[in-house]
Amino acid sequence: MTFQSEPVTMWFDRRLVLRQSPIQGIGTFTVEAIPAGQLLVLVSGGLVFTSDDWQAGRVRVEAEMYNQETLAENLFVITPKVFNYYINHRCNPNAVDMSRSPNTTQYIAWRDIEAGEEVTTDYGIYGGANIEQCGCQSSLCRGRITPNDWQLPELQQRYRGYFPWRLEQQVYQPLADE
Ligand SMILES: [Zn+2]
């Protein structure tokens, strides 16, 4: 699979706003109820580069203003920070990233979301996050979030069919062979 810089397309549900979050910093909140299954945020494309490009100064951006995702080993894509960047972690979330392409982010409501609720996702199923002490205060809180959380059978069961593209095959291939 090869990736190149592509135009950035961003779509956000009109019922989303950015506010101070009790979980961390800025968060994404709803101003009206949103039913399960509805699209919340869709972002695709971005500026693609390698760490060599970065070190050689070929990518001159204000890093603080950009969201970075890993496409492949030593290959990254950045887009300006918007709603997709401000979705906080919660161990009992209400949204999942359903994208099936590494340069796309596609959050949908995983369950019904009430008006005024913060939109959250479980960072544990994306395989990169490290949170020493989770402050989500949900009854399902795991306390500590690690890059290996996606290997927990409990999470594989709960988020079956909603795992990120790059982990889903690893998670469910053994089951398919049974
Ligand atoms: Zn938690």
Give the model's pLDDT for residue 166.
67
Q: And the tokens for 128?
A: 């990169």
pLDDT above 70 covers a percentage of the chain that reads: 93
How many angstroms does the Cα of residue 129 sit away from the middle of ligand 1? 12
Calculate how far, in angstroms, residue 42's C-alpha sits from the geometric centre of ligand 1: 25
Q: Which residue has the higher pLDDT, 2 or 57?
A: 57
User: Which domains does the chain possess?
Assistant: 6-177 (2.170.270.10)
Query: What is the whole-number distance in angstroms between the Cα of residue 122 and the centre of ligand 1?
Result: 9
- pLDDT above 90 covers a percentage of the chain that reads 74
Q: Please tell me the distance between residue 152's alpha carbon and the centre of ligand 1 in angstroms.
A: 15
* pLDDT value at residue 178: 45
31 has pLDDT over 70: yes
Centre of ligand 1 to C-alpha 17, Å, is 22
pLDDT digits (tens, 9 = 90+) for 47-90: 999 999 999 999 999 999 999 988 888 999 999 999 989 999 99
Amino acid at 35: P
CB-based contacts of 106, cutoff 8 Å, min separation 6: 39, 41, 42, 43, 97, 98, 99
Q: What is the pLDDT of residue 172?
A: 66
Whole-angstrom Cα Rg for the chain: 17
Distance 133 CA to ligand 1 centre (A): 8
Confidence check: pLDDT of 1 > 80? no
Which tens digits make up the pLDDT trace of 103-137? 899 999 999 999 999 999 999 998 888 999 998 99
Report CA(58)–ligand 1 centroid distance (Å).
39
